[in-house]
Structure 1
Amino acid sequence: MSTTELADPPVARRREAAPATEGPRGKPSPLLARRRRLFWPLLLPAVLVYLVFFAGPSLFTFWLSLNKWAGAGPMSFVGLDNYQRLFEDPTFRQSFANTLWIIFGVGGLTFAVSFGLTMVLREMRGRKAARSILFFPNIVPTLALAILWGFLFQHDGLADSLASMLGMSQPPNWLGQENLFRVIMIGLVWTSTGFYTTILMAAVDQIPPELYEDCDLAGANAFQKFRHVTLPLIWEVAGVCAVLWTISAVKVFEFIYAFAGAAGQMPDTGVWNTAIYTYGEAFASGGVPRYGSAAASAVVMLALVGVLVVLIRRIMRRDTVQF
């Protein structure tokens, strides 16, 4: 043992434990120095893309929402008048209510069906083929699904045939104004369930089978297994799915537009959501476009998504379960 080690053993140990990123005199190692030199050259392109295609248009949209503009000519600053007009417009209030119905009503039913399918598919033979069938609507263009959904619910279509088989002498008018939005919500559940079931089942597949074997020995039924084993262990994935659904639900457009609209015509205002309303304000078939009002509606949509995502993350925050 050297004299230095006898005189100050802690110093020697600190030298031995010095990180590999530091040089002999505490200077950054060549590897760390190269990493620092490459940091901005690699990060700058992504930052520029974000600023040009995301942050920039978002800021311009907010500025546009404070102005009155028809798409040509100078803008006239009106402050918060566009927002005041939105909340005084009964069409926007109906559209906003429909958006909330899609987020919470369709979302709640979608996740209820998805959780139910996870209980069934986990112990089902041929579950991989079943997952592929459930996921199929997500690989088909939304426009084609909306057209198919319209054929199913038209007069003397499949829905009327099933209603007659169930004993209904007079099937309801599915495409009437009193039922149209309900049919749209059912269609959104159909098109969304397979996507979230696939994500949840991918998380379920990571759960050790020994846990379910212990449940079988204890005599637990399928719901008890789901409540005490499956749900706690996929809780974080379910939270991510809830955030994804919130973002996608606010942006629902093609399905409603193609299903409820006619050729070259907007759907009836009773089935509008905020995305359809924004489109109608900016690209109305008749009259002068109101880009300021459309931008204000888009800002409200963005604020709604931001608030709901923060609430979902806080509500679903739990300690990570190790398994």
Structure 2
Amino acid sequence: MADERFYDARLAINAARLEQKRRYDKRRQPIPPLTVGDKVYIRLRDRPVPGLLTGKIDPRKAGSFRVCEVLSPHRVRLDLGADATIGDEFSVEQLDVRPRSPDPFADDRDEPELPAVPALHDEEEIPSAPLQPVDGEPVADGEYLPDDADPATSRTRRVPDHLRGFQVGVAAIAGNDAFREALHGPIYRSRVLEVDGVSTELRERPVAFLSRLTSPTEKKMVASELELCCLAWAFARFAHWLEGAAVTVVTDHSPLGPMLSSTTPIPYGPTIARCRALLLPHMTNLRFVHRAGSRHTNADALSRLPPAPP
């Protein structure tokens, strides 16, 4: 029994070593010498091309393309055509060389000539039977109707069921300027305003909660990166409501606004740079207001609830 276990373990170790050697040799294989006129394929995993590799069944390579210039042993220039949407300079690590030997399966891949479909009748045209008139209906002779003929009555256009009774308009806020200003800003405490002679109480309350678990990568982020990722993700989820509207972001993390509006030449990390690229087009409509965490309790109400008893 022990010998059989040792034998199985030895087989598993040898298979793992062979796989490791294959990967090692693949990463350290010599650079293929390329010359002008060679045909190469672009590996879309290493060099993405817009419009390609959008699904699981799409090809993983594009091409083949001709090498028109060898810039160095590591970089070449390809002939991509006039309608190319990417640059024509590539690294040899992004390409697969097409074999220079003739393709042994070229004849099999050619489209076979399909046999002609046999005719169902003789070459002479079979005359069609004359149309028999229907009682009370004229026979169409293929001529245009006269101008004084009565046109067919048009069908009545009806709105779909789910759009009936829907009125397109612009939502207007009634009241004075003080009331509009109070709605645009954060409401720290309950306020009472007079609107058209009616006493109205304004109170800030959440209308939607949005949350998810952090990924293993996000758990390693610092507080600034995590807050900015949270804002970018939430804005993308509510984009159909927030795009083009004046949005006030109330946060307990004061550096959030300056990180997005900063113009200093100091480079940010890749995480902050991606979030800035998503939010910068909407910065003209964003306003950041800082609120201390002790007073910012309604946003974190769900996460601060005590766990339910078992």
Structure with the bigger percentage of strand: 2
Instruction: Determine which structure has more spread, i.e. the larger CA radius of gyration.
Output: 2
**Normalising to structure 1: TM-score of the pair?**
0.21
Structure with the bigger percentage of helix: 1
The one of the two structures with greater contact order (alpha-carbon pairs below 8 A, sep at least 6) is 1
